[in-house]
């Protein structure tokens, strides 16, 4: 321990004596670590926010939607979830507190809406009375749909704050009529703001009562719906999920060999696709950083070898004064490791700065988030680079012959 | 007088290509405590090789070497480093101070390898520097000191560990005559205090200063005489 501390102090004074050179030596490491921390902090910031959004859906929520296998799609047999499925789930499965159908416009995701001279495209969908409870999202002004809206398939709607803005609706917008295709629809409320996600607004939509939406898109045909629900007891989530699966298989008349033509998903599963992408980006950036740390390490080895040659005489003196092979080895090895560690610390700081800057400058980007594992991993990697690439120069220094090195000019 | 150095039948052979070079060819030498010995000889006579062997920087090809009672001839590198640290104080022609370290740190350095804690190290180094008259220059870097001062730092560094022998290799070779006298005066004082001093030199006047002169020729001791010291204070 004593020799270790002495070696640290000797290494520090050597680094200080050549501070600019040490900085240049560590530059490869600094850049490598800074880039990984910047990329990871931005990507993790995204992931953090997105996951928070999915969690906002309620971790005890379930989403059922139709699923058409690729083969069946080619044959034109599209799977469908219907209102019957909704009723079956509602009546035969207990442990569900809220359940709502969601009906999108089957023609396309965006519909044209207008108010006076303004018009814009937005997403229109029909939802049941429980939608606000399932989503945990409530009107910020006005009212939600009433039973009588449902019963009489009244053309009323709730709008997101972006729609209010885009259509330049007067304040308050309640009571105004907006054009929905060829129909008129009365605004009864404005939904609370959700903010941006990945630069996309989450407040650009129009909600209608489910029956009204059916009427709007033409009631003759049965459309594919999505069903969303909240489960009372989160510990029973998997059990409920399995029962829904069984009931729907029965309802759809699927035999034992046939695959499900629907999917029951938890928010985690919805998030998992996104997380897979995040994971890939992180892994790729990790690989790039691995390469740049390798290059940085070779740079360090190069400079350390030069430094050993340059300090040959000094090493000879130390040996004459009684330094053992191990003392010299330790001193030079620790010098390499310290350079890498200081480079790593600097890199982490710079990377964090870049990440914070990027997410601050780019609109709609969530704040950077540096996970502890990225910091400790890059730091550990730096030390490993120091050990791996410091050992050869250090061994060279330790094995110098004292007589020759004392004579070295 | 106890023997500090005892060399018996020392050979040191270098292999250069297919030729063998006998730098030392059967050297027997005994040096007692508190002797003041000059090793002289023309270049190529083997005096530097002998010096390196005595200083435990090199190992004999053949023969036995006992230093202060230790059988140094059969030690490994790490044990030799330990002996250098504890038994030998080196003084070189070109001073060989650590360029980036202050005078104080230079003198402290040997104690590092002995495991002396920093506080005590500083105390002893300061004391040694005071002893050579550099108590007011402790914080200076070697390049801020004159040649004579640098050699004094080197002497302080050699003495700080209380070595059995002081081994000086042309200690005045880079100094002017005034400074040479000063350094030799310092050596005389140390000798008077009981220090064993071995000095390699090619200058007869310097050798005259010593109480015993060992002359090397062709890897052997040509003659070994005790003499009346001249010029001593």
- List pLDDT tens digits, range A157-177: 999 888 888 888 888 888 889
Q: In what order do the strands lie in the sheet with B70-71?
A: B19-32, B3-16, B62-67, B70-71
The pLDDT tens digits of the residues spanning A43-66 come to 877 777 776 666 666 667 888 888
Distance separating alpha carbons of residues A101 and A109, to the nearest angstrom: 17
Place of tokens 């006047």: B205
Other C-beta atoms within 10 Å of B15: how many? 9
Q: Is the pLDDT of residue B232 over 60?
A: no
Distance separating alpha carbons of residues A340 and A343, to the nearest angstrom: 5
Average per-residue pLDDT for chain A: 85
The pLDDT tens digits of the residues spanning B160-218 come to 989 999 999 999 888 898 999 999 999 999 999 999 999 999 888 889 889 999 999 99
Handedness of CA A242, A245, A250, A253 (dihedral sign): negative
Work out the pLDDT band at A107, boundaries 50, 70, 90.
low
- The backbone torsions φ and ψ at residue B228, rounded to the nearest 5 degrees and listed phi first, read -75, 130
Domains of chain B, each with CATH number or no CATH: 35-59+82-226 (3.40.50.300)
Return the minimum-mean-pLDDT range out of A284-288, B74-78, B141-145: A284-288
The pLDDT tens digits of the residues spanning A360-380 come to 887 666 777 788 888 888 888
A366-374, long-range: CB within 8 Å, 24+ apart, which pairs? A366/A45, A366/A46, A366/A48, A366/A49, A367/A45, A368/A41, A368/A42, A368/A44, A368/A45, A369/A41, A369/A44, A369/A45, A369/A48, A370/A37, A370/A40, A370/A41, A370/A44, A371/A40, A371/A44, A374/A36, A374/A37, A374/A40, A374/A41, A374/A44
Distance separating alpha carbons of residues A216 and A208, to the nearest angstrom: 9
Work out the pLDDT band at A314, boundaries 50, 70, 90.
very high
The pLDDT tens digits of the residues spanning B33-45 come to 999 999 999 888 9
The answer to whether the CB of A165 falls within 8 A of the CB of A173 is: no
* pLDDT at site A224: 86
Chain A residues near residue B161 by CB distance under 8 angstroms? 322
Work out the pLDDT band at B107, boundaries 50, 70, 90.
very high
* pLDDT at site A58: 64
Q: What is the 3-state secondary structure (H, E, C) of A168-184?
A: CCCCCCCCCEEEECCEE
User: Which of B98, B108, B154 would you mutate first to test chain A, the one with the most A CBs within 10 A?
Assistant: B98
* pLDDT at site A332: 92
Distance separating alpha carbons of residues A64 and A67, to the nearest angstrom: 9
* pLDDT at site A305: 92
Return the minimum-mean-pLDDT range out of A185-189, A212-216, A333-337, B186-190: A212-216
Contact between chains at B92 and A318 (C-beta distance less than 8 A): no
Distance separating alpha carbons of residues B98 and B142, to the nearest angstrom: 8
Q: Is the pLDDT of residue A269 over 80?
A: no
Parallel, antiparallel or unpaired: strands B19-32 and B3-16: antiparallel
Distance separating alpha carbons of residues A50 and A358, to the nearest angstrom: 18
- In this structure, what token pair is assigned to residue A239? 């059990």
Chain A residues near residue B49 by CB distance under 8 angstroms? none
Distance from CA of B106 to the nearest CA of A (A): 10
- Name the burial class of residue A221, with classes exposed (0-12), middle (13-18) and buried (19+) by CB atoms within 10 angstroms of its CB: exposed
Q: CA B167, B173, B174: angle at the middle one, nearest 5?
A: 115
Q: Is the pLDDT of residue B159 over 70?
A: yes
The pLDDT tens digits of the residues spanning A251-263 come to 888 888 888 888 8
Q: Is the pLDDT of residue A79 over 90?
A: no
* pLDDT at site B231: 63
A192-197, long-range: CB within 8 Å, 24+ apart, which pairs? A192/A137, A192/A138, A192/A139, A192/A140, A193/A140, A193/A160, A193/A161, A194/A137, A194/A160, A196/A363, A196/A364, A197/A49, A197/A50, A197/A53, A197/A364
Q: Any chain A CB within 8 A of the CB of B141?
A: no
Work out the pLDDT band at B7, boundaries 50, 70, 90.
very high
Residue from the list B99, B110, B115 with its beta carbon closest to the beta carbon of A321: B110
Which pTM does this prediction carry? 0.70
The SS3 assignment for A118 reads strand
Average pLDDT over residues A317-327: 93
Most confident of A23-32, A109-118, B80-89: B80-89
Q: CA A352, A353, A355: angle at the middle one, nearest 5?
A: 65
Q: What is the 3-state secondary structure (H, E, C) of chain B?
A: CCEEEEEEEEEEEEEECCEEEEEEEEEEEEEECCCEEEEECCCCCCHHHHHHHHCCCCCCCEEEEEECCEEHHHCCHHHHHHHHHHHEEEECCCCCCCCCCCHHHHHHHHHHCCCCCHHHHHHHHHHHHHHCCCCCCCCCCHHHCCHHHHHHHHHHHHHCCCCCEEEEECCCCCCCHHHHHHHHHHHHHHHHCCCEEEEECCCHHHHHCCCEEEEEECCEEEEEEECCCCCCC
Alpha helices (runs of H) in A218-324, residue ranges in sequence order:
237-251, 267-310, 312-320
The pLDDT tens digits of the residues spanning A2-36 come to 888 888 888 888 888 888 888 988 888 898 888 88
- In this structure, what token pair is assigned to residue A60? 């005890």
Q: Any chain A CB within 8 A of the CB of B79?
A: no
* pLDDT at site A364: 63
Chain B residues near residue A323 by CB distance under 8 angstroms? 81, 113
Please name the helix (run of DSSP H) or strand (run of DSSP E) that holds residue A127, with its range, or none: strand A118-127
Q: Is the pLDDT of residue B117 over 70?
A: yes
The reply to whether ipTM tops 0.90 is: yes
The SS3 assignment for A342 reads helix
The pLDDT tens digits of the residues spanning A195-237 come to 776 667 788 889 989 888 888 887 667 788 889 888 888 778 8
* pLDDT at site A109: 53
Percent of chain B predicted with pLDDT > 90: 75
Compute the half-sphere exposure of residue A310: CA atoms within 13 Å on the CB side of its CA.
10
The size of chain A, in residues, is 409
Chain A residues near residue B86 by CB distance under 8 angstroms? 322
Distance separating alpha carbons of residues A94 and A88, to the nearest angstrom: 11
Q: Which residues have C-beta within 8 Å of that of residue B51, sequence separation ≥ 6?
A: B39, B167, B169, B198, B200
Q: Which of B156, B151, B146, B174 is nearest to B105 (CA)?
A: B156
* pLDDT at site B71: 92
Distance separating alpha carbons of residues A210 and A147, to the nearest angstrom: 11
Residue from the list A6, A319, A403 with its beta carbon closest to the beta carbon of B52: A403
- In this structure, what token pair is assigned to residue A228? 């969303």
- In this structure, what token pair is assigned to residue B110? 């040997």
Work out the pLDDT band at A117, boundaries 50, 70, 90.
confident
Distance from CA of A395 to the nearest CA of B (A): 15
Q: Is the pLDDT of residue A329 over 90?
A: yes
CA–chain centroid gap for B29, Å, is: 16
Return the minimum-mean-pLDDT range out of A217-226, A313-322, B22-31: A217-226
Higher-confidence position of A83 and A196: A83
Q: Which residues have C-beta within 8 Å of that of residue A407, sequence separation ≥ 6?
A: A316
Q: Which residues have C-beta within 8 Å of that of residue A147, sequence separation ≥ 6?
A: A129
Q: Is the pLDDT of residue A350 over 90?
A: yes
Distance separating alpha carbons of residues B55 and B65, to the nearest angstrom: 11
Average pLDDT over residues A297-303: 89
* pLDDT at site A108: 61
Please name the helix (run of DSSP H) or strand (run of DSSP E) that holds residue A124, with its range, or none: strand A118-127
* pLDDT at site B10: 94
Q: Is the pLDDT of residue A92 over 60?
A: yes
Contact between chains at B112 and A313 (C-beta distance less than 8 A): no
Work out the pLDDT band at A295, boundaries 50, 70, 90.
confident
Contact between chains at B57 and A313 (C-beta distance less than 8 A): no
């Amino acid at each position: 321990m004593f020799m270790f501390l002495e070696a640290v102090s000797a290494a520090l004074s050597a680094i200080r004596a050549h501070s600019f050179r040490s900085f240049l030596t560590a530059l490869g490491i600094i850049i490598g670590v800074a880039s990984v921390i910047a990329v990871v902090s931005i990507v993790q910031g995204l992931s953090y926010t997105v996951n928070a959004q999915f969690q906002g859906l309620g971790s005890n929520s379930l989403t059922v939607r139709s699923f058409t296998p690729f083969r069946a799609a080619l044959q034109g047999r599209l799977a469908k979830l219907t209102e019957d499925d909704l009723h079956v789930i509602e009546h035969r499965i207990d442990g569900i507190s809220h359940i709502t159908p969601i009906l999108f416009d089957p023609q396309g995701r965006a519909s044209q809406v207008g108010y006076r001279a303004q018009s814009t495209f937005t997403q229109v969908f029909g939802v049941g009375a429980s939608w606000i409870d399932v989503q945990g999202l409530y009107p910020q002004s006005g009212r939600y749909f009433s039973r009588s809206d449902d019963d009489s398939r009244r053309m009323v709607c709730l709008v997101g704050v972006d729609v209010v803005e885009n259509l330049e609706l007067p304040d308050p917008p309640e009571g105004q009529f907006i054009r929905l295709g060829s129909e008129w629809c009365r605004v009864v409320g404005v939904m609370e703001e959700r903010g941006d996600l990945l630069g996309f607004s989450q407040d650009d939509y129009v909600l209608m009562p489910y029956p009204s939406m059916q009427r709007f898109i033409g009631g003759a045909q049965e459309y594919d719906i999505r069903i969303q629900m909240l489960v009372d007891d989160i510990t029973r989530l998997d059990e409920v999920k399995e029962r829904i699966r069984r009931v729907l298989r029965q309802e759809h008349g699927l035999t034992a060999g046939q695959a499900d033509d629907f999917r029951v998903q938890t928010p985690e599963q919805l998030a998992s696709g996104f997380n897979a992408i995040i994971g890939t980006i992180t892994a790729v950036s990790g690989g790039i950083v691995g390469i740049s740390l390798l290059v940085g390490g070779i740079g360090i080895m190069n400079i350390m070898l030069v430094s050993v040659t340059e300090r040959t005489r000094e090493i000879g003196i130390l040996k004459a004064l009684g330094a053992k092979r191990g003392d010299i080895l330790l001193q030079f090895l620790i010098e390499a490791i310290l350079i890498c560690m200081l480079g790593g610390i600097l890199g982490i700081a710079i990377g964090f700065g870049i990440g914070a800057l990027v997410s601050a400058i780019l609109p709609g980007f969530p704040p950077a988030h540096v996970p502890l594992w990225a910091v400790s991993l890059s730091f550990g990697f730096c030390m490993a680079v120091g050990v791996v690439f410091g050992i050869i120069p250090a061994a060279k220094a330790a094995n110098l012959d004292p007589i020759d090195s004392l004579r070295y000019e | 007088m106890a023997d500090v150095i005892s060399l018996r039948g020392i050979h040191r052979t270098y292999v250069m290509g297919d030729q063998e070079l006998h730098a030392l060819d059967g050297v027997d030498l005994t040096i007692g405590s508190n002797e003041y010995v000059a090793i002289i000889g023309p270049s190529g006579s083997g005096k530097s090789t002998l010096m390196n062997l005595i200083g435990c920087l090199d190992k004999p090809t053949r023969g036995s070497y006992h230093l202060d009672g230790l059988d140094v001839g059969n030690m490994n590198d790490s044990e030799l480093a330990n002996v250098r640290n504890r038994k030998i104080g080196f003084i070189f022609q070109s001073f060989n101070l650590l360029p980036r370290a202050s005078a104080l740190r230079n003198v402290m350095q040997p104690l590092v390898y002995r495991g002396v804690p920093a506080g005590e190290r500083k105390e002893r180094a300061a004391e040694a520097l005071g002893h050579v008259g550099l108590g007011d220059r402790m914080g200076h870097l070697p390049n801020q000191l004159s040649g004579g001062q640098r050699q004094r730092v080197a002497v302080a560094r050699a003495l700080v560990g209380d070595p059995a022998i002081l081994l000086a290799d042309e200690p005045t070779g880079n100094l002017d005559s005034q400074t040479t006298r000063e350094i030799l005066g310092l050596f005389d004082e140390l000798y008077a205090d009981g220090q064993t001093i071995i000095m390699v030199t090619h200058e007869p006047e310097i050798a005259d200063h010593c109480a015993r002169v060992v002359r090397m020729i062709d890897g052997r001791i040509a003659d070994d005489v005790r003499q009346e010291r001249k010029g001593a204070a």
